[in-house]
Structure 1
Amino acid sequence: MLSYMKIAWKYIREYKKRSIAMILSIALSVFLVVTIGSLSESTRVLQINDAKKDSGLQHVRYDGVNMEQVNKIKEYENVKKVANSFYYDGWNHESGLTVNILGAEKNILYMESNKMKVGRFPTKSNEIAIEEWVLNRLRIPHELNQTIKISLAENGEKKFKLVGIIENNLDKQSVGNLEAYVAFNDDNLVGREEHIYSFVEFKDGLNYRNEARKLGKQIGVKDEKRIVLNRGLLAAMGELNAIDWDLVKKSLFLMVVGGMVIYSIYNISVLKRVQEYGMMRAIGSTKKQIIYVILSELFIVYIIGVLLGILLGVFFTNLFKGSTMSSGLFTEIDYKLDIVVISRFAIGLAMLTSFGSILLSAIRGAILVNRVSPVEAINRSTQDSNIKFKERESFIEKVLTIPKKVSYKNLRRNKKTIIFTIVSMAVGCTLFMVQTFKTELWTRDWKYRNSIDKSQMYEFRLNVNEGRPMKEGYTTEQIDKISKLPQVQDLSFKQVLYSKLKINKKILNGIYGKSYIKFMNSENGFLKDLGDFSFEGVTKDEMIIRNTILGLSDRDLKSLNKGLKEGQIDIDQMKNELVAVVHIPKVNEKGLYFDHTGKSKFESALNLKVGDKITVTIPKEGYDKGIDTARLLAEHDKSQYIDQEFTIIGITDVLPDKDGFHLGTDLAPYLFISGNMFKELSGIDKYRLVRVDMKDNYTEGDYKILKEEVQKMSEIIPGTLLEDRVEWLKEAEKSDITYDLLKNSISIILIFISGLSIYNNINYSLMSRIREHGIMKAIGLTKKQFRKMIGFEGLMYGVISSIFSCIIAFLVEVGIFIYYAYVRWSPLLLKEFFIDWKSFLIVIAINLSLGYIATIGPRRQVDKIEITDAIRAIE
């Protein structure tokens, strides 16, 4: 076997250019699969980590257990870690904010993927630990061992010593979930012994769902509702362990592209050395031995290419560490790649697909060599006898000069070569154009959506707490004051009203509507603490459901008009008449607004159309009295409500803005009316949603000043939610850059791989006709004419490849547009097809350049050969 390897190595060294081209083709294909697969697996690992941060490391939570059951859980053999907690009390801060105080074991921080920043976790009854951002929100200095007076909702005022400051939990911070921890001990547990929450993480490699039920049965938890699976984490872990079919498809695609290049290059290489193989067989080598030489050569090329590709993939993947991957590339969420995982599956898949492509080339090469007899191989017999000439000229030939006419005939004669060349180039170019089109398609739609309400991209957001009376909000004077700050570029402000809709059951959209009402009334839909989602009406055909009304300014109404699915907004009409625009949630047949499989069909829960009447029902005196809004809406007594009928003049699938609390959930219908009608309906002229846009090119000093002013504004109304999106917007911008870099790298590499095939095909096609070129020079073809003829032939390859690539890309782009605009469950809002001329022009330039460049080598080589030598050459 060693002798075959030596011969194969000599062939590799003899045909360096072609060997390097094959190695590069394999290496780049492997590189792409390893890079894409590793980045995909990295984001999926980060998705698990994100699920752990969001919902905890526990696989299951057991609600309402006692200490005896807790001890049994700790003794269970398959348990890795346990953390127990209970609700201690509510802290009513003087700012109006409510902090949930939890009694917990230290392991609770582990379950939340968090840790202490300074100090320690509480162990005594009068000790407390608080997150850093919560201290900032409450204006409490970051000083350990200070005594804090806390007003408890159930146990009056009590003093606690601050013994620990916990690192910020960004998920809790983003939604304003204020929490603090006290010790899990007998004193604090008094009266709560039967209300412990036990968070359990099982050992690796188990069926966690089965283990959760098995342990629940063992400790005596019979009610399934008290066994709360961490579905977000389990779903993410299931996706990690599942086969990445998207990567498999990409790998097969790359195998086809890389395989075509290897196939093309190696077959040309075999044709060039047919004489050598013939001599080997003439002196006694068997067909089997020739095949061993071919396999040995390709095996060496394969090993070098695969190793180089893996090393490049590992190196390139690590370059992305610390960057943010954009939405839509591997997941629907942006993830910062703090962890980089090199995917073993991707490496194995890359090796397998590359082996498949090179094996096919070896088989083809072996068949080609062994089909020719030793005598024919040694003599390198010409195929001139098989060439057929047509005497009748086509229209194109009539207008061409003699040299160009010869080039044109050669193109028609070498149909297989030209087809192979065109297909090779079209693959990479089409992918580049299609990806560019998809990116531009989503970018245009994203910009259009943002133009409906630009405030979605503003840095700060204030949302008055749902617990505050509806009449509370920010006045025009308060809003004007912050708008005059030099750090502020723009402000957006909206009125909010929690209300109810009276509907006829007939407008429920079949199974979608019925399932929607059922889901919203379940524990997973609308929070039971806030009352029911739907109520029975006066008649059997009537139903009352929760909804939210937003009062919009003229500017916001004008923007909303862009997002209408049906109807048209007349601002004067909206300001003076009882008309509204509605947004109805879309759900699947189970009444759910989400589907992890992506296979569900989504429809509007209610059958409403432009011109229909819709009745809003609001409390007669409730808002004026300023009582608890949640309690006010939890029940429905007809005598306490008044009705107001609106005519629908528009329906939108886009929710331009929403209230961020449970009472204002976007799972319920939204009504948009003018500010004038809002005041007339509710008697409220204040604003509960305020967004602040910081000026462009702001400094860190500008940010700190504006953040302080916005926080002061939030403290005017106790309990107001404050969102700071500055860091999030920065990461989103970085993720777009990373996405573009990776996407364009994939396209460029594919074009490069295809380019290797094209260059070799054209190069060989020209070099294999040395005799023909010699004869033409002998009968008077000048050097200048010869160069033009060769250049014209190369450009013709480029022109035909460009036309083919552009036609295929255009057809694919039309299909993509139709799917995303009209078929997909969440369609494009901007349904305008376009042609991205830049990508088409780039592809045309690349094809023409490759075609011309491929002729330079053969042209120079033929120029160097004497006419008599060229005529004697037999190819």
Structure 2
Amino acid sequence: MKTIYHLAISRLKYNKGRSILTIVAIALMTTLLMSIGSSALTVIRHQQLEIKESARNYHAVFKGSTADQVFILENHADVESLSTRESVASIELPKLNAVLNFDSTKKGSIDQIQLANGKMPVEADEIAGPPALFERLDVVPEIGQKFQIPLRIQGGKVENYDFTITGILEQTDISKLNVNETRLVYGAFVSEKFVEQHIAPEDRTYTAYIRIVNENKHSKDEIETIISEIAEDVGLNKSDISFNEQYLTYMTNPGTQERNVMIGLGLLVVFLGGMVIYSIYYVSVISNIQEMGKLKALGATKKHIRRLLFTESLAQSFVGIPCGILLGYLATVFLFRMVILSGSTFGDTFWHWQAAICVIVVVLLTVGVSIRKPLKMASGISPVEAMRYQEPTGKQKRKKSFKTLSVSKLSYANLQRNKRRTAVTILALGCSGILFLVVANIANNITAENYARMLMPKGDFEISLNYAEDDREYPENNLNIIQLQNPLNDDLKTQIMSLDGVESIDEKHTVLAEAENVVLETQRTEVGGISENDLLSLNKSLKRGTLDYDELVHSNGIIFTWDNLFEQYGFEIGDTIQLTLYDGNKKIPFTGTLMASTNSSDDTFLIADEVLQQLITETNPASAIYITVQPEKFESVKAQIDTLQQENTRFMFKSYDEELGIAKQLIRTIQYTIYGLLIVIGIIGYISLINTMITSILVRKKELGILQAIGLSDKQLRQMIHREGLFFTFGTLALSLTIGNGLGYLLVRIIINTQILTISQYEYPITQTLVLIVAVVIGQIAITVFVNRYIHKQSLVERMRD
């Protein structure tokens, strides 16, 4: 055993270059797996800490529950904890979105809103809220402060009420958020006495927060199934359920989708790393067949040969794996400390021994599987066969001879010498390129700009109407009555167009409607107009039916935009839908055919815009305008439009830079993780290319020396090496650009359809493709130069006797 060990170490030292390449490949594979595993666990641990600090521990919310349904939930065997919230009133001040709630714990323990100071309200005139709300009301946020505010209780009349602050709630720091005031929603809390005084028992509705029993025994999917069954037991629909996705994702056992994503990513990395390691060992064993034969002639058995090569691979793994574990940990620390969690107050949560152990086991298994074929090949050949071994060319055919030799023919002959080795090498390199472009396709389409355009589809700024659909106490708040006043009129648009830097204004048309022959969640809803250009982009979110603008116009076509409720409403493509459209106070009957279903719009139904404008003649159907400006004038125009929209309390304001800032925060972690993966994949591919070229030349040093002795010049030698490298380069690019881009496109389309990530449309990764092509070509040239210099470190005589 000692002899085999010392022989293995001696062989590793003698083949130093090849050994280093193998160690680097193992280390990179380990780094990638460790960084993926530890990054995933770090995200989970960080989110768990955040949830414990700020989020609530409920599993789901049941909206619109009655007192009887709450009573059933309270006594349900599968419900461990239950609390309720009642939306009591809204604060009626211009440009302020604020509501008053009452919370009550009915059963068990569900985390409540945290108090920074004071206590929750008990008496009817007491209130607790965040400091930012009180400051917005021009009230000093201190316990005991008294003030008066106008309230509207459950859609009733607006009246003034006196309150005393008894509690100050903890609040998130929003000072760094670049958002308009109209985008913020404030919440405060009143007492049960206040509710009992102002709302009759039969008029009270509840939002129920529930936790099921035995959380730790169920996965995320199982918890969601149980909750759906509970909702059915109490007479609620699936649309009434809102799952606490953040808590379920990070505080319970992963669901099927999450597990599949993690397992799939891990298997891709293992396959890629295994192909590279297999390629290295395969080429290495082929080049050492004669040496194995000499060892067998000296008395080594199959078992000895297997043990020798296995010892070499273990020795390389014992060096590569610890280096990879360390590099993976450091990469995770850098990624999260310097980029993702740079402002976090949480401690070091980046080391995960579970991930390290799993990675060690997986890498050792991968190395073991990768060397199985080379081990069998090396140990199975007889001493006589090994001593006269030449690289096979596949099926033995009559070889074509040449009257003259050229550099191209010499390169071709070497590639044909072992077709299997050539194929394995191209496949290993191609897998790196394929995976690179698959990931690049995803990374290229997960952009903040894409997501921002989902939030704000057009222009640089949006001014929209703040309206109600069915306000019976104050009908002047309803969209149809506001449109009679025509706030988004031509004078406003002329004023905006006169601003320096404004290029164009687009309108969005929406009117109120009542559904006549179908039962919706609320019978009064919204119908929007869609133009032919916008219909083209709507195809990206099409779920059922077909979209054709001419057919939409001629057949009074209707598009339903909440496809997740399609079955619940009992719809079928081709159904006749009768609506009553509101043109101010005028009612217009409209009968259309349901042509398609999408998940695309705030409006429940869409019809052709030209049809809508032909029907609506008494009012301006505009519900929003989109303003496009010159980039260099963005800030100055923004300030002027912001001032302009504040003059009308009916206006709400959005800015593209605000939407972009929100989008960047949401997808930053995903982007950095994916681009980190791209970098490591690229490095692994380079290692495979370097190994192939260097091993091919080192094995043929004696042969090349003889060729040079009979007249092959240094220039011709460089050309031969270069042409062999070009063959691998073009083979790699052919596989990568065809299969990689094809798989990448299919994966992005699946993501768009399933809405797993924030991707709304496909864009080809031109930059990443060019980077891959340039990197592979430059890498091949650099390796050719390096190999040529390495060869010439030895004299011609030394190379011929090597």
TM over 0.5: yes
The change in CA–CA distance for 1:669 and 1:46 in structure 2 (over 3 A counts) is farther
- Inter-partner Cα distance in structure 1 for 2:726 and 2:616: 71
Whether 1:260 aligns to 2:275 is: yes
- Partner of 2:437, secondary structure, is helix
Whether 1:792 aligns to 2:729 is: no
The change in CA–CA distance for 1:669 and 1:222 in structure 2 (over 3 A counts) is same
Residue in structure 1 matched with residue 369 of structure 2 by the alignment: 360
Residue in structure 1 matched with residue 22 of structure 2 by the alignment: 22
Residue in structure 2 matched with residue 774 of structure 1 by the alignment: 705
Identity value in percent: 19
- Inter-partner Cα distance in structure 2 for 1:617 and 1:787: 80
* Paired residues for 1:619-698 under 5 Å: 623=585, 642-643=588-589, 658=602, 666-669=603-606, 672-673=609-610, 677=614, 679-680=616-617, 683-685=618-620, 687-690=622-625, 696=631
The change in CA–CA distance for 1:222 and 1:305 in structure 2 (over 3 A counts) is same
Q: Per-residue deviation at 1:586?
A: 6.5
Amino acid at match of 2:243: R
- Inter-partner Cα distance in structure 2 for 1:438 and 1:792: 33
Residue in structure 2 matched with residue 412 of structure 1 by the alignment: 416
- Inter-partner Cα distance in structure 2 for 1:823 and 1:226: 22
Amino acid at match of 2:216: G
Whether 1:312 aligns to 2:324 is: no
Residue in structure 2 matched with residue 591 of structure 1 by the alignment: 567
Determine if contact 2:462/2:624 at 8 Å carries over to the other structure. Answer: no
Determine if contact 2:503/2:629 at 8 Å carries over to the other structure. Answer: yes
Of 246, 263, 282, the match for 1:248: 263
- Partner of 1:102, secondary structure, is strand
Q: Per-residue deviation at 1:405?
A: 1.8
Residue in structure 2 matched with residue 146 of structure 1 by the alignment: 145
- Measured against aligned partners, the alpha-carbon deviations of 1:803-826 in whole angstroms (never above 9, x if no partner) come to 444444465467669878999999
Q: Per-residue deviation at 1:796?
A: 3.2
Amino acid at match of 1:428: S
Determine if contact 1:103/1:188 at 8 Å carries over to the other structure. Answer: no
Q: Per-residue deviation at 1:489?
A: 7.3
Q: Per-residue deviation at 1:259?
A: 1.7
Determine if contact 1:582/1:651 at 8 Å carries over to the other structure. Answer: yes
Whether 1:102 aligns to 2:92 is: no
Higher mean displacement: 349-358 or 110-119:
110-119
- Inter-partner Cα distance in structure 2 for 1:712 and 1:583: 35
TM-score by length of 1: 0.68
- Inter-partner Cα distance in structure 2 for 1:409 and 1:588: 61
Amino acid at match of 1:101: L
- Measured against aligned partners, the alpha-carbon deviations of 1:681-702 in whole angstroms (never above 9, x if no partner) come to xx22374435566874689998
The change in CA–CA distance for 1:566 and 1:49 in structure 2 (over 3 A counts) is farther
Determine if contact 2:561/2:604 at 8 Å carries over to the other structure. Answer: yes
Whether 1:383 aligns to 2:383 is: no
Amino acid at match of 2:580: T
- Inter-partner Cα distance in structure 2 for 1:811 and 1:212: 35
- Partner of 1:240, secondary structure, is coil
- Measured against aligned partners, the alpha-carbon deviations of 1:627-670 in whole angstroms (never above 9, x if no partner) come to xxxxxxxxxxxxxx553568x9x978778764xxxxxxx44455
Residue in structure 2 matched with residue 402 of structure 1 by the alignment: 406
Of 166, 189, 204, the match for 1:181: 189
Residue in structure 1 matched with residue 573 of structure 2 by the alignment: 606
Aligned residues between the structures: 758
Determine if contact 1:583/1:671 at 8 Å carries over to the other structure. Answer: no
- Measured against aligned partners, the alpha-carbon deviations of 1:175-206 in whole angstroms (never above 9, x if no partner) come to 76554212457996898889787755567625
Residue in structure 1 matched with residue 380 of structure 2 by the alignment: 371
The change in CA–CA distance for 1:799 and 1:775 in structure 2 (over 3 A counts) is same
Determine if contact 2:82/2:209 at 8 Å carries over to the other structure. Answer: yes
Q: Per-residue deviation at 1:28?
A: 1.9
Q: Per-residue deviation at 1:164?
A: 3.8
- Partner of 2:190, secondary structure, is strand
Residue in structure 2 matched with residue 130 of structure 1 by the alignment: 129
Amino acid at match of 1:130: G
The change in CA–CA distance for 1:725 and 1:346 in structure 2 (over 3 A counts) is farther
Higher mean displacement: 157-166 or 723-732:
723-732
Residue in structure 1 matched with residue 580 of structure 2 by the alignment: 617
- Partner of 1:160, secondary structure, is strand
Of 422, 425, 432, the match for 1:421: 425
Whether 1:433 aligns to 2:437 is: yes
Amino acid at match of 2:481: K
- Measured against aligned partners, the alpha-carbon deviations of 1:322-375 in whole angstroms (never above 9, x if no partner) come to 8999xxxxxxxxxx9999777777655543432222102443343344334567
Residue in structure 1 matched with residue 482 of structure 2 by the alignment: 472
Q: Per-residue deviation at 1:746?
A: 2.6
The change in CA–CA distance for 1:265 and 1:615 in structure 2 (over 3 A counts) is closer
- Inter-partner Cα distance in structure 2 for 1:102 and 1:818: 42
- Inter-partner Cα distance in structure 2 for 1:448 and 1:829: 10
Determine if contact 2:451/2:663 at 8 Å carries over to the other structure. Answer: no
Q: Per-residue deviation at 1:128?
A: 0.8
- Inter-partner Cα distance in structure 2 for 1:111 and 1:483: 53
- Measured against aligned partners, the alpha-carbon deviations of 1:139-198 in whole angstroms (never above 9, x if no partner) come to 656565432224554896542113444355799998765542124579968988897877
Q: Per-residue deviation at 1:773?
A: 2.5
The change in CA–CA distance for 1:488 and 1:824 in structure 2 (over 3 A counts) is closer
- Partner of 2:482, secondary structure, is coil
Determine if contact 1:44/1:240 at 8 Å carries over to the other structure. Answer: no
Whether 1:321 aligns to 2:336 is: yes
Residue in structure 2 matched with residue 763 of structure 1 by the alignment: 694
Whether 1:497 aligns to 2:525 is: no
Q: Per-residue deviation at 1:423?
A: 0.9
Residue in structure 2 matched with residue 537 of structure 1 by the alignment: none
- Measured against aligned partners, the alpha-carbon deviations of 1:234-291 in whole angstroms (never above 9, x if no partner) come to 7646673556222222322222221222223234445566677667667766554554
Whether 1:301 aligns to 2:268 is: no
Of 501, 507, 526, the match for 1:548: 526
Structure 2 residues without counterparts, runs of 5 or longer: 472-476, 540-545
- Partner of 2:336, secondary structure, is coil
Determine if contact 1:798/1:850 at 8 Å carries over to the other structure. Answer: no
Determine if contact 1:133/1:173 at 8 Å carries over to the other structure. Answer: no
- Partner of 1:790, secondary structure, is helix
Amino acid at match of 2:574: N
- Inter-partner Cα distance in structure 2 for 1:132 and 1:487: 38
- Inter-partner Cα distance in structure 2 for 1:763 and 1:290: 24
Residue in structure 1 matched with residue 663 of structure 2 by the alignment: 732
- Inter-partner Cα distance in structure 2 for 1:241 and 1:829: 24
Structure 1 residues without counterparts, runs of 5 or longer: 326-335, 504-516, 534-545, 594-602, 625-640, 659-665
Q: Per-residue deviation at 1:426?
A: 0.9
- Inter-partner Cα distance in structure 2 for 1:743 and 1:46: 19
TM-score by length of 2: 0.73
- Inter-partner Cα distance in structure 2 for 1:767 and 1:41: 43
- Partner of 1:244, secondary structure, is helix
- Measured against aligned partners, the alpha-carbon deviations of 1:565-594 in whole angstroms (never above 9, x if no partner) come to 644579xx99xxx9967423374797169x
- Inter-partner Cα distance in structure 1 for 2:438 and 2:71: 59
Q: Per-residue deviation at 1:729?
A: 1.7
- Partner of 1:321, secondary structure, is helix
Q: Per-residue deviation at 1:744?
A: 4.0
- Partner of 2:512, secondary structure, is strand
- Inter-partner Cα distance in structure 1 for 2:223 and 2:633: 53
